[in-house]
Structure 1
């Protein structure tokens, strides 16, 4: 049943589910001082996640992405993956991770049902990676990506925030990275949040920098698939992988939105840069599935046409770890 349609005709088949606000990295653009507790860590448990996933699947969602914070700081992340994978109607279980534990655990997560993986690597220069993330773990993270590729997963992608310091000097390194690896590296324009206004002003780089570089180097846009997200990906005959751009400041970015977000405490967010949300947690119990579905469907009446990032408005989003990006 496909009931998740908003007032602009957009259909939602993709759930981004944050399972924690905790992150063990200190990325300069998100949590430069590290994670600070904002209240009791009463994050959704495995059973609540199961009820939630089932409700969205009954409404037409077929893809679930587990995010954070850093989802793999949860000791029960394997159980969470399995719970999502065992839900009727869910055929894609994805996770976005900083990769700190990837090389050691990817085999277990894949066996539990993980089909799609996104790994955050903001620079392939060891010193820059350390400076941006606060951790000297680049080699281990890349090893984890290669192990994931060796497992034959349906999709392995790399996310890199586009920053002034890495925008052009590091692009060649990422191209070399995908020369033999069938990986899509997607550069994400730095987004302004309530906590990073000064950093944004100093470090934001327009996606046009990447577009210009790709054109000079002979990369061409790839035809979009029906289930593709917001990234525009580019291909080159000499490379096994792809390079792409997620440009949230571009006109029309929200026109093809196909995803809904639920926070680690059970709040349905209609937009990453919106305000407030719809509390679902009280309904995440046995026997309240129909009521839960009706609340989700009714909430779409309030979904706006797009965010207001271009106007300098970030909603009530303090940082991306808060909502899972």
Structure 2
């Protein structure tokens, strides 16, 4: 469907849990309180919302958390979502810790269209400092297994205050020979996060050190823009909410695990869909009217957002 600014809204990010087995420094709030199980939507309720979303033209879905793999039954949910009439694409964002080979094989059988691994450094001690667990080797082994069985893999790297050129160089060395997408994400000022301009340093590094070519075709559903680097199998992507503001082409809405429809990551307001789930006609009406009123743009460049990342999945 189209919103009032004539943008086509065809992509929904679904947070199925606020819980996570990591405690990343830029994501979790200082004082942590998980939702109770009774507060979050049942999978059947999420699927009911997705059915209506498809009727509105939203056919691409990203499943997130928290960490989605910690919620029991998520694989069955992914299979049901993938099999819904009209669904075009289902992808998963994860820290990768729980994706053992058996699970990866099941994801392939489900027909998952892509898996995004969140990995901010390849230095084990720093990895543990960022996320609270020294589990980098397990995550990398799971990622490499996914590549080996032909899954579409992307690596999301948040360019935060601890990120250095050494991190960048080690990432390039490790992933350059793999058919993956290596994406660098500008840290957004959520909660206590401060604005960083390190994403520009990363881009300048590629420009000065490599022979690069802009990729004009769209890769994936999100706002990343990509380059090819001569001699590398991997493609390089950048997601810059501040320095490359993409609100004019934003195609997404977000569904929280509690049933809140969030129209923009910056804006704290949301629409509670839970009261309408048992009335498909009313649910469609509320979703249509709400999405039509999606805000024109964020204001991350000027203000801090009160959005809590672990509750909305990025």
The answer to whether the superposition gives a TM-score over 0.5 is yes
**TM-score (normalised: structure 2):** 0.93
1:11 maps onto 2:12 in alignment: no
Q: How far is the alpha carbon of 1:281 from its aligned partner?
A: 1.4
2:281 aligned residue (278, 290, 294): 290
Paired position in structure 1 for 2:310: 321
Alignment gaps of 5+ in structure 1: none
Instruction: Give the direction of change, closer, same or farther, for the CA distance of 1:226–1:162 in structure 2 (3 Å limit).
Output: closer
1:26 aligned residue (15, 23, 26): 23
2:114 aligned residue (106, 113, 116): 116
Paired position in structure 2 for 1:136: 134
Alignment gaps of 5+ in structure 2: none
The worse-fitting range, judged by mean Cα deviation, of 92-101 and 288-297 is 288-297
Indicate conservation of the 8 Å contact 1:26/1:35, yes or no: no
Residues in 1 aligned to 2:164 and 2:7: alpha-carbon distance in whole angstroms = 33
Indicate conservation of the 8 Å contact 1:28/1:132, yes or no: yes
Q: How far is the alpha carbon of 1:38 from its aligned partner?
A: 4.8
2:209 aligned residue (213, 217, 220): 217
The worse-fitting range, judged by mean Cα deviation, of 74-83 and 215-224 is 215-224
Q: How far is the alpha carbon of 1:177 from its aligned partner?
A: 2.2
Superposed, 1:38-53 pairs within 5 Å as 38=35, 41-53=38-50
Residues in 2 aligned to 1:24 and 1:66: alpha-carbon distance in whole angstroms = 16
1:58 maps onto 2:55 in alignment: yes
1:37 maps onto 2:34 in alignment: yes
Instruction: Give the direction of change, closer, same or farther, for the CA distance of 1:224–1:270 in structure 2 (3 Å limit).
Output: same
Deviations 1:16-45, CA, capped at 9 Å, x for gaps: 011011111011111276852255552111
Deviations 1:143-164, CA, capped at 9 Å, x for gaps: 11111112222x2101011023
Indicate conservation of the 8 Å contact 2:11/2:221, yes or no: no
Residues in 2 aligned to 1:18 and 1:78: alpha-carbon distance in whole angstroms = 14
Indicate conservation of the 8 Å contact 1:95/1:116, yes or no: yes
2:251 aligned residue (252, 258, 273): 258
Deviations 1:193-235, CA, capped at 9 Å, x for gaps: 12x24xx26xx34321111001012233222327542112121
1:309 maps onto 2:306 in alignment: no
Superposed, 1:116-195 pairs within 5 Å as 116-153=114-151, 155-194=152-191
Count residues in correspondence: 312
Instruction: Give the direction of change, closer, same or farther, for the CA distance of 1:293–1:212 in structure 2 (3 Å limit).
Output: same
RMSD: 1.8
Indicate conservation of the 8 Å contact 1:25/1:34, yes or no: no
Residues in 2 aligned to 1:226 and 1:68: alpha-carbon distance in whole angstroms = 23
**TM-score (normalised: structure 1):** 0.90
Residues in 2 aligned to 1:214 and 1:36: alpha-carbon distance in whole angstroms = 41
Give structure 1 regions of 4+ aligned residues with deviation exceeding 6 angstroms.
none
Residues in 2 aligned to 1:227 and 1:282: alpha-carbon distance in whole angstroms = 33
